[in-house]
Amino acid sequence: MTESKTHNGTIDSMFKAGAHFAFGKARRHPTVSQYIFGAKNKVEIFDLEKTQELLKAACVFVENLAKEGKQLLIVGGKSEARAAVRVSAEAIGMPFVDGRWIGGTMTNFTQIKKRVEKFERLTAEREKGELAKYTKKERLLIDREIANLDRFFSGIVSMKDLPQAILIVDPKKEYTAVKEAHDLGIPVIAIAGSDCDISTVEYPIVGNDSSKSSIEFFLGEVVNAYKAGKLLAKAAPTAPVAPAATSETSPRKI
């Protein structure tokens, strides 16, 4: 497939997914102005040629992350994004937050890890039947605590260290996650609607961030990039092992 066909195919796919729809002009953030093509029925339209270039840059970055075996945290708590965030993260074995972002998830990671460890411990004890030693009321309270911990922390159980990058759906809604990433010097990739300040994002993908089909498309492209990077890493030749020194190859002692 030629580059032009791939380019046009990506744009056609974005169009079919409804990725071109922005908000009305009154809601547009100034940083997104250069990516607006025009308007139809008072709804602004993204220039998908430019969106495609941004998507390409983000995918190259993600592919390199995967080649280096680095961790990507995927975040999206809005109702339109939750299912796609979970499915995408699980497809590449990465941590995710598909609900409310808990302040300090990254900037206070030591404390968050303790909550995650408690969730793992209580879940394991329940599965082994070790909670039988408690009264019925105590077991009920523990079950409620497990459910609460599951809701907030089940997606980041695999995140034993801070991620090397974070992918966000709607940086305006997830502004706390964006700020924490910046405070720690963690690069941000974001699927950003026209009401978002993309100056806060290292790798913005401007497009419809309020449509399930659009979100699924963009996340799918990022997932494919990560998978491609992992395949490249596996295919990379390993460095040859230097032969052990012998009496003939060892430097002479004077």
Task: Report the CATH number that the domain containing residue 147 is assigned in CATH.
Answer: 1.10.287
Distance of CA 45 to the CA centre of its chain: 25
Q: How far apart are CA 125 and CA 227, in angstroms?
A: 35
Alpha helices in the chain (DSSP H): 3-16, 48-67, 82-92, 109-127, 136-153, 175-184, 212-235
Rounded (10°) angle between helices 48-67 and 3-16: 110
**3-state DSSP assignment of residue 134:** coil
Whether 63 is covered by a domain: the verdict is yes
Asked whether residue 56 falls in the same domain as residue 130, the answer is no
Structure token digits, residue 89: 């993260």
pLDDT in tens, 36-85: 999 988 899 999 999 999 999 999 999 999 999 999 999 999 999 999 99
Structure token digits, residue 252: 């002479």
Contact 105, 97 (CB under 8 A): yes
Asked whether residue 175 falls in the same domain as residue 202, the answer is yes
Which residues constitute the domain of residue 216?
A: 3-106+162-234
Whether 242 is covered by a domain: the verdict is no
Asked whether residue 114 falls in the same domain as residue 100, the answer is no
Q: How far apart are CA 186 and CA 172, in angstroms?
A: 17
**Other Cβ atoms closer than 10 A to 60:** 13
pLDDT in tens, 91-122: 999 999 999 999 999 999 999 999 999 999 99
Structure token digits, residue 46: 């993204």
- Given a cut of 60, whether residue 167 has pLDDT beyond it is yes
Whether 216 is covered by a domain: the verdict is yes
Asked whether residue 83 falls in the same domain as residue 12, the answer is yes
Q: Which uninterrupted H or E stretch holds 76? A: none
Query: For the whole model, what pTM was predicted?
Result: 0.86
For residue 174, give the nearest of 222, 223, 103, 226 by alpha carbon.
Answer: 103
Asked whether residue 72 falls in the same domain as residue 187, the answer is yes
